[in-house]
Chains A and B, each alone.
Chain A
């Protein structure tokens, strides 16, 4: 008889009083000695064994707060180069910084930004360009970013535009005003690489999450919910159709999506095809069929 898993947590170390704003990211360095924490305006570097002080390595707080138009949204260390890290902003930019260049990394080594498409410009353009998550590929050659409607893969050697752009839920593009009104437009979705950097994954609404195969260019939409998945059952691909569009059985119309069921947090096992999906107050662990047969 399966027992409910009880998880208890207790803090082992507390690194206090270094942040004035909300912490959005922490990232352990590849040296396994230091880590960074990022809030809206600053990034601090810590030593894992030293809890009472940190170094400030990025500070974008303007002298006059009235000049504030951009905040830090996510940050991560490079998986191999312990001096490199990246941070993203609410204006859709990525900055690669090298800690060897200066103590305060306010000047970036590289700035990744995609020029805006003037024909798609709206009052919501900036909001939907805000990067909610940034992740280095395991190889360290690419960056994966998530903004409101897309996931993008960037080549570290090309700052001018992303290598690949994946539409997560483009059917929401015509609904931005409503999503602004109900604040969904500010939802911050995470993204993840699989172990071999060939597939990327991110969450969406209605308990859906999406996977994109970078090589085959195929994508799939899956649902994480008790109703649609019993243990050991294979997840059925889902499809969202435009309202009034051609509809297959089991398709969901855009207007029927439940925007309160959002999958913001997703993670992929670094070596195996096992994924963790957080849906409201439930945590789902999925593994691929092949994997499950091996274990």
Chain B
């Protein structure tokens, strides 16, 4: 995409993240290109920030499609570059190797770095899951970290603790459930609740080598919510979640359930991400927390 060795402007305040001194001469293969760790960290930080913004985009009562497209394109650019650098594969492999306890909430993956030694040894691999909202319904998506496949973003599920929580970023529009390759037609209304039947089975992303666009429905998930329409209630899905223990609803709630809450600005929601206490699904007031907690969590995300 870029000529190799092109200096890229990234950081602020005139501080070049890739100074000419660090510049690696044009190398024939991507694998041999080295990145300064500063650039790599900044890029990762930008990726994290972008994913959070995408989540928040979906949270709004009236999402802004232009903004989401621009952020998604930014995410895709980063992903493409990381793929070229080999960083992407390292990260996805690390995630695949990571073990998650069965009762651990998926939502915490958004904010918690996995402490996998293999991952840490790698080049800033970072798991993050992204909420893919589809009319307030969310399906868990697990991606097998096959070496050559692209990955898809996973979505958070308010329940289904039995599903494992590995999550990846794939094509920018991979927000939403992933489908096993055989199950092409499962998503009529864009919900992947069928995948939850797979339990802890991991489904393979549909991406092919070099094909950055994930399966078509996922994009619909991302941008389908921007149409001005009202979500149809899904009795099957509600029944599925009916016996859920509300105490699970901490971070999950604020990330997934807020579409039914009164409209919150993006910063309100970001604050609410750090709420830890048990929270009723519709209680937005209890989602506010002090900024220290928020800072702490942001630190984790940024990886400082």
Contact = CB atoms under 8 A, between A and B. Distances in A.
Contacts of B173: 65-68
Contacts of A120: 9
A118 B3 CA distance: 8
A92 to B, nearest CB: 11
Nearest to A130: B70
Among A71, A126, A186, residue most surrounded by chain B Cβ atoms (within 10 Å): A71
A40 interface: yes
Contact of A21 (B8, B74, B213, B227): B227
A67 B228 CA distance: 20
A126 B74 contact: yes
A69 B14 CA distance: 30
Given A66-B219, A175-B13, A118 B65 contact: no
A20 interface: yes
B6 interface: yes
Interface in A5-30: 19-22, 24
Nearest to B266: A183
B289 interface: no
A276 B213 CA distance: 45
B228 A21 contact: yes
B66 A130 contact: yes
A70 B219 contact: no
B49 A118 contact: no
Interface in A50-83: 64-71, 73
A127 interface: yes
B70 A68 contact: no
Interface string B192-223: 00000000000000000000011111111011
Contact of A177 (B11, B213, B219): B11
B100 interface: no
Contacts of A64: 216, 219-220
Contacts of B10: 122-123, 177
Contacts of A145: none
B78 interface: yes
Given A66-B213, A123-B74, A127-B74, A21 B12 contact: no
B62 interface: yes
B6 A121 contact: yes
B7 interface: yes
Interface in A218-236: none
B298 to A, nearest CB: 10
A20 B223 CA distance: 12
Contacts of B66: 22, 24, 40, 71, 73, 90, 130, 186
A127 B50 CA distance: 13
B213 A123 contact: no
Contacts of B62: 22
Given A130-B70, A174-B14, A175-B13, A68 B77 contact: no
A122 B9 contact: yes
A181 interface: yes
B65 A21 contact: yes
Contacts of B266: 183
Contacts of A176: 12
B12 A178 contact: yes
B125 to A, nearest CB: 19
A118 B6 contact: yes
A259 interface: no
A282 interface: no
6 contacts: A22-B66, A65-B223, A66-B222, A123-B77, A124-B74, A176-B12
Interface of A: 19-22, 24, 40-41, 64-71, 73, 90, 118-124, 126-127, 130, 174-178, 180-181, 183, 186
Given A68-B69, A119-B7, 8 more contacts: A19-B228, A20-B227, A22-B65, A24-B66, A64-B219, A65-B173, A123-B74, A186-B67
Which are the 6 A-B pairs with shortest beta-carbon distances?
A66-B219, A66-B173, A64-B216, A65-B223, A65-B219, A40-B65
